[in-house]
Amino acid sequence: METPETKLSACGLPSRVVISMAGRAVQHTDAEWRARLTPEQFRVTRQQGTEPPFRNEYWDHHEDGVYFSVGSDTPLFDSRDKFESGTGWPSFTRPIEAKFVAAEVDESHGMKRVEVHCAVDGGHLGHVFEDGPKPTGLRFCINSAALKFMPRADYAKWVAARG
């Protein structure tokens, strides 16, 4: 019988683990973030930067697996939800677990957009737009510098270690 303790979330983790991870704020000083991240990762995730289109690690990446936040061990997007948007950045129809991605209105650069960030570590990921394919109609346009990739078999082991 399935109980709240054993029910699995969308990312494959038990619901109790998702709730625990989502409530855990990873915080560091700028100096600590700079020591943990590459200069480009710091610029994108901590300073709300954007990397160039078509010249980033994952825009044309097709391996099966899961994309994590570079700022924390938080799974954010599944390759099964990745699609070719033609924009030059990795694009996804949805996050792997809604609790791990937060959004807020971004009115910088003379535009009104919806910025998305990792809810666990606060790192800027990119933006979400309402011009994506079915089933969600959403396009999460994400900077590769905000992500690290884990192949599906390794992800299964990662989930099992936390279950």
- Whether residue 16 contacts residue 5, with contact meaning beta carbons closer than 8 Å, is answered with yes
What is the set of active-site residues? Answer: 141
Amino acid at 45: T
Question: Is the model more confident about 56 or about 18?
Answer: 56
CATH superfamily of 15-162: Peptide methionine sulfoxide reductase. (2.170.150.20)
Split at pLDDT 50, 70, 90, the class of 28 is confident
Q: Is residue 66 predicted with pLDDT exceeding 80? A: yes
Structural domain boundaries in the chain: 15-162
**Residue 57 in tokens:** 């690690």
- Rounded to an integer, what distance in angstroms lies between the CA atom of residue 40 and that of residue 53? 14
- Give the residue carrying structure tokens 């599944």: 78
pTM for the model stands at 0.88
- Please name the residues in contact with 55: beta carbons below 8 A apart, sequence gap of 6 or more: 88
**pLDDT tens digits for 101-158?**
999 987 877 878 899 999 999 999 999 999 999 999 999 999 999 999 999 999 999 9
Give the pLDDT of residue 84.
95
In the predicted structure, residue 42 carries a pLDDT above the cut 80: yes
